[in-house]
Amino acid sequence: MRISNKNLLSTAKGPSPKCNIVTMKCSLRVFILFLVLLVAFLTSLFFTYTLTGVTNMAYLETQGVEDAHRVKLVPSYLGMQKLSKDLVGQKTCACDRCVGDPGVSQWFDEHFDQDILPLWTKANMKLDPDVYNWWVMLQPQFKPHNLKDVLSKLFLIVPGENPYSSWNRSRCRRCAVVGNSGNLHQSHYGADINSHDFIMRMNQAPTIGFETDVGSRTTHHFMYPESAKNLPANISFVLVPFKTLDLLWITSALSMGEIRFTYAPVKQFLRVDKDKVQIYNPAFFKYIHDNWTEHHGRYPSTGMLVLFFALHICDEVNVYGFGADSRGNWHHYWENNRYAGEFRKTGVHDADFEAKLINSLAEAGKIRVFRGN
């Protein structure tokens, strides 16, 4: 809009021997130019208005008109203003296809919320009451702790900062999310996986001895206290906390080692790169539960947590080692017993819904899924 206004002005002011707008002595050419600019101006006005209307309607439909959420209207609205500008052929990254490009999938755009940070940092320590109440019920603890005190102590030991910048048109950050499925067995994906900028693994995920199929590089390893293991230097340990005790544990395991038990034995000391420890944000956890797995299962599986983490910090996301193998078995790639994973079908997660969600993301062109064997 502003551009067309400026053009109008310069047409009016410009030293043109053929035209004087004030005295209306214009040549036909200038008159047509003026008409074209007027039409462009009105079109852009109409377009902005329509988009804003649609956005607000979608917002009201999904939200009801709850007071508690009204604050959100402002960031969403601003986000949409940016989106309408982006729609005019702008890309959010330098890859062929970018996760962040708007207008590719309406379903994705409606569920995706860029305002929620995947990491819990010094800047967003305080949780919304609804997030807090949901999170503390995941693994209820009897002993109350002051979350702010606990986090403040933790952030004296680990950075508590967000190292990820937002989208950047000259960047193409390719990420591999590597699950632990037996379908990786004899997949020969190792070299492919190694070629990514970020390689994210979770829980046990051994690589030694499995390099040909699962690759050897790791940049992010997601674990909770009961699944934690030591990591080589230079890998980000991303702690997925399910309770306040988990934050006390990581603080302890990186310093005095006073905690050895949560609901199961945990490592007293953890050898990981302290400067690269990151804490998964409970608000982001709940956002996945609300917006993506839509309350199927008690809470999303670790695989989902890692996948959406990647969708929020990467430009291209490739998924390996998710789901059953081609015979429908749910074992891990390092297990010989194909039936070892039977319990997963009856767990707290809804494996069928999560599998459908992964398919939808692939159909929307936001991820590519490598299904292995």
Ligand X SMILES: *[C@@H]1O[C@H](CO)[C@@H](O)[C@H](O)[C@H]1NC(C)=O
CA 46 vs CA 41, 77, 82, 170: distances in Å: 9, 17, 16, 31
Does 242 help bind ligand X (rule: CB under 6 A)? no
Q: Which is nearer to ligand X, 164 or 210 (CB)?
A: 164
Please select the residue that binds ligand X; options are 171, 229, 271, 338, rule is CB under 6 A: 171
Q: Which is nearer to ligand X, 243 or 286 (CB)?
A: 286
| Span of 37-45, 286-294, 297-305, 339-347 interacting with ligand X by CB under 6 A | 286-294
Min separation Cβ 63 and ligand X, Å: 5
Does 338 help bind ligand X (rule: CB under 6 A)? no
Q: Which is nearer to ligand X, 342 or 363 (CB)?
A: 363
CA 187 to CA 176: how far, in whole Å? 15
Q: Is 299 a catalytic residue?
A: yes
Does 234 help bind ligand X (rule: CB under 6 A)? yes
Does 113 help bind ligand X (rule: CB under 6 A)? yes
Please select the residue that binds ligand X; options are 105, 141, 227, 291, rule is CB under 6 A: 291
Does 109 help bind ligand X (rule: CB under 6 A)? no
| Span of 27-35, 110-118, 256-264, 295-303 interacting with ligand X by CB under 6 A | 110-118
Does 290 help bind ligand X (rule: CB under 6 A)? yes
HSE value, Cβ hemisphere, 13 Å, CA-based, for 202 = 23
Does 111 help bind ligand X (rule: CB under 6 A)? yes
Q: Which is nearer to ligand X, 20 or 230 (CB)?
A: 230
| Catalytic residue from among 224, 280, 287, 299 | 299
Residue 264: is it exposed, middle or buried by C-beta count within 10 angstroms (0-12/13-18/19+)? exposed
Please select the residue that binds ligand X; options are 5, 20, 50, 62, rule is CB under 6 A: 62
Min separation Cβ 71 and ligand X, Å: 10
Q: Which is nearer to ligand X, 21 or 235 (CB)?
A: 235
Please select the residue that binds ligand X; options are 30, 104, 105, 110, rule is CB under 6 A: 110
Residues 2-61 that bind ligand X (CB under 6 A): none
Q: Which is nearer to ligand X, 69 or 371 (CB)?
A: 69
Does 90 help bind ligand X (rule: CB under 6 A)? no
Q: Is 296 a catalytic residue?
A: no
Residues with Cβ within 8 Å of 200's Cβ and at least 6 positions away in sequence, in order, are 175, 176, 177, 178, 218, 219, 220, 221, 222, 306, 309, 310
Per-residue contact string for residues 210-229; x = within reach of ligand X by CB under 6 A: ---------x----------
HSE value, Cβ hemisphere, 13 Å, CA-based, for 80 = 22
Does 170 help bind ligand X (rule: CB under 6 A)? yes
Min separation Cβ 82 and ligand X, Å: 16
Query: Would you please indicate which residues are annotated as catalytic (active-site) residues?
Result: 299, 349
Residues that bind ligand X (CB under 6 A): 62-63, 69, 72, 110-111, 113, 165, 168, 170-171, 219, 234, 287, 290-291
